Structure 1
């Protein structure tokens, strides 16, 4: 019963929160985005950037 052991529920919540934070930090810092090449920046088609109002 949860009324009998509130400390156990609190420790489970804290452990789950720490694991969630560690998992998110590992995923955030392990992601390395590809930097755009300078050749691709100059080859942008400007006709596709015009909005059709």
Structure 2
């Protein structure tokens, strides 16, 4: 059974975040910088491990 209230709440959270970033582009750029910084740290910590498929 699908919990539609939970889905509605999640969609509302995404809509609020979208409005926030749309109204303040600098905040969006700062979020991208933070994400990029976390990605660099993750790559540096795991650069000696190999990925096997």
With structure 1 as the length reference, what TM-score do the two structures score?
Answer: 0.49
User: If each structure's helix is expressed as a fraction of its own residues, which one has the higher value?
Assistant: 2
Larger radius of gyration: 1
